[in-house]
Structure 1
Amino acid sequence: MNIWVMLLLLLPMAGAVVAYLLGLQKRALAFWVAEVTGVVLFLITLKLLIDYQAPIDIPMTWFEVGSFSIPFGIYIDKLSLVMLLIATGLGVLDIHFAHDYMAEDPHQPRYYAKVLFFIGGMILLVSAKDMVGLFVGWEFMGLASYLLISFWHQQKDPADAGVSAFLFTRFGDIFLFAAIGLLFYFTGTLDLVKLNTLSQAGELNKELMFIIAVFIFIAAIGKSGQFPLFPWLMRAMEGPTTVSALIHGATMVNSGIYIVARLFDFYVAAEALLVVATVGALSAFIGATSALVQRELKKVLAYSTMSHLSIAFVGLGVGSLAAGMTHLVNHAVFKALLFLGAGAVIMSAHHVKDMWRLGGLGRKLMWVALFMGMGVLSLSGIPPFSGFFSKDAVIASAILNPQSAGLISILVTIAGLLSMAYIGRLWFLTFAGEPRDKALFEKVTEPSKFWIILPLGIMAVVTLAMGFFQNDIARMVSGKALPEAHMTGLIVGLLSGIALLALIVYYYYVKRPDITEKIAAQPLMKTIHGILFNGYYIEKMIFWFTHNVIIESFAKTINWIDQHIVDAAVNGAVTLSQKVNGAFGHTHSGRVGDNSGAMVFGLLLLFAAMMAGGAL
Structure 2
Amino acid sequence: MAWFLQNAWLIPLLPLLGFGIITLTPIQRNRNASAWLATLLMVGATVIAIGTAVEVAGRVVVGPDGTVSVAGTEAHGADAEAATEIKAGHGYEWREPNIVRTIRWAPAGGDEPFTMGYIVDPAVAAMLVMVTITATCIHLFSVGYMAHDPRQARFFSFISLFSAAMLAMVMASNLLLFFMAWEVMGLCSYLLIGFWYDKNYADPAQITPRQAAIKAFITTRIGDVLLLVGLAWLWTEAGTLELGAGPGQVFNPALLERLATTATGTGVSAATGIALLIFGGTVGKSAQFPLHVWLPDAMEGPTPVSALIHAATMVSAGVFLTARTFPIFEASEALPVVAAVGAFTALFAALIALGQFDIKRILAYSTLSQLGFMVAALGVGGWVAAMFHLLTHAFFKALLFLGSGSVIHGMEATVGHDSNTSQDIRNMGGLRRFMPVTFVTYMAGFLALAGFPGFAGFWSKDEILADSFRTNTLVWVVLSLASLLTAFYMTRQVMVVFFGTFRGHHPRKQPHTTHGDHHHEAHDPHESPWTMTVPLGILALFAVFAGFVNLPYDGYHHLAEFFAQEAGKFNVLVIWVSSAIAVLGIGLGWLAYRNAFASAEDADPLQRLLPGAFTALNRKFYFDEIYAATFGAAAGVLARASTWLDERVLDRVVLDSGSFTRFLGQVNFIIDDTVLNDGADLLATGAQSAGDGTRRSVTGKIQDYVALVFAGVVVLGVIYLYVVR
Q: Given the two structures, how large is their TM-score scaled by the length of structure 2? A: 0.76
Q: Which whole-Å CA distance do the structure 2 matches of 1:452 and 1:95 have between them?
A: 10
Residue in 2 that maps onto 1:397: 467
Q: How many residues align?
A: 592
Contact 2:484 2:584 survives alignment (8 Å) = no
Residue in 2 that maps onto 1:604: none
Matched, 1:270 2:332: yes
Contact 2:323 2:383 survives alignment (8 Å) = yes
The structure with more radius of gyration: 2
Aligned match for 1:203, one of 258, 262, 276:
258
Shift of 1:185: 1.7
Aligned residue identity for 1:225: A
Shift of 1:416: 1.2
Gaps of 5+ in 2: 62-97, 201-207, 264-268, 508-521, 552-556, 681-725
Matched, 1:45 2:49: yes
Contact 1:161 1:238 survives alignment (8 Å) = yes
Aligned match for 1:502, one of 583, 586, 594:
586
User: Deviation per CA, 1:286-332, whole angstroms, max 9, x where unpaired?
Assistant: 11011111101100000000000110111111011011111111110
Q: Which whole-Å CA distance do the structure 2 matches of 1:530 and 1:444 have between them?
A: 30
Contact 1:360 1:435 survives alignment (8 Å) = yes
Shift of 1:176: 1.5
Matched, 1:484 2:569: yes
Contact 2:596 2:605 survives alignment (8 Å) = no
**Between 564-573 and 260-269, the greater mean CA deviation after superposition:** 564-573
Residue in 2 that maps onto 1:307: 369
User: Deviation per CA, 1:201-254, whole angstroms, max 9, x where unpaired?
Assistant: 513236112111111111111111111111211111111111111110111110
Gaps of 5+ in 1: 597-616
Q: Which whole-Å CA distance do the structure 2 matches of 1:132 and 1:240 have between them?
A: 31
User: Deviation per CA, 1:514-558, whole angstroms, max 9, x where unpaired?
Assistant: 798385566x93332222122222222222222322331x45455
Residue in 2 that maps onto 1:57: 100
Q: Which whole-Å CA distance do the structure 2 matches of 1:90 and 1:196 have between them?
A: 31
Query: Does the C-alpha gap of structure 1 residues 520 and 504 become closer, same or farther in structure 2, counting only changes over 3 Å?
Result: closer
Q: Which whole-Å CA distance do the structure 1 matches of 2:562 and 2:170 have between them?
A: 12
Contact 1:30 1:112 survives alignment (8 Å) = yes
User: Deviation per CA, 1:336-382, whole angstroms, max 9, x where unpaired?
Assistant: 01111111111111151111111011112122111111111111111
Shift of 1:495: 2.8
Shift of 1:572: 6.7
Contact 1:508 1:516 survives alignment (8 Å) = no
Residue in 1 that maps onto 2:433: 363
Shift of 1:65: 6.9
Residue in 2 that maps onto 1:86: 130
Residue pairs, 1:191-340, within 5 angstroms: 191-193=242-244, 194-198=249-253, 202-204=257-259, 205=262, 207-340=269-402
Q: Which whole-Å CA distance do the structure 1 matches of 2:41 and 2:605 have between them?
A: 52
Q: Which whole-Å CA distance do the structure 2 matches of 1:24 and 1:588 have between them?
A: 65
Q: Which whole-Å CA distance do the structure 2 matches of 1:95 and 1:379 have between them?
A: 23
Q: Given the two structures, how large is their TM-score scaled by the length of structure 1? A: 0.88
User: Deviation per CA, 1:27-82, whole angstroms, max 9, x where unpaired?
Assistant: 21112211210110001111212223132111322212774733323211110111
Contact 1:78 1:476 survives alignment (8 Å) = no
Query: Does the C-alpha gap of structure 1 residues 65 and 419 become closer, same or farther in structure 2, counting only changes over 3 Å?
Result: closer
Contact 1:312 1:328 survives alignment (8 Å) = yes
Shift of 1:485: 4.6
Q: Which whole-Å CA distance do the structure 2 matches of 1:425 and 1:109 have between them?
A: 37
Query: Does the C-alpha gap of structure 1 residues 108 and 583 become closer, same or farther in structure 2, counting only changes over 3 Å?
Result: closer
**Between 335-344 and 463-472, the greater mean CA deviation after superposition:** 463-472
Q: Which whole-Å CA distance do the structure 1 matches of 2:577 and 2:159 have between them?
A: 42
Q: Secondary structure at the match of 2:140?
A: helix
**Between 191-200 and 174-183, the greater mean CA deviation after superposition:** 191-200
Residue in 2 that maps onto 1:466: 546
Q: Secondary structure at the match of 1:528?
A: helix
Shift of 1:138: 0.4
Say what the alpha-carbon RMSD is for the aligned residues.
3.1
Query: Does the C-alpha gap of structure 1 residues 521 and 585 become closer, same or farther in structure 2, counting only changes over 3 Å?
Result: same
Query: Does the C-alpha gap of structure 1 residues 24 and 548 become closer, same or farther in structure 2, counting only changes over 3 Å?
Result: closer
Contact 1:209 1:270 survives alignment (8 Å) = yes
Aligned match for 1:433, one of 474, 497, 500:
500
Aligned match for 2:407, one of 324, 328, 345:
345
Residue in 2 that maps onto 1:605: none
Amino-acid identity (%): 31
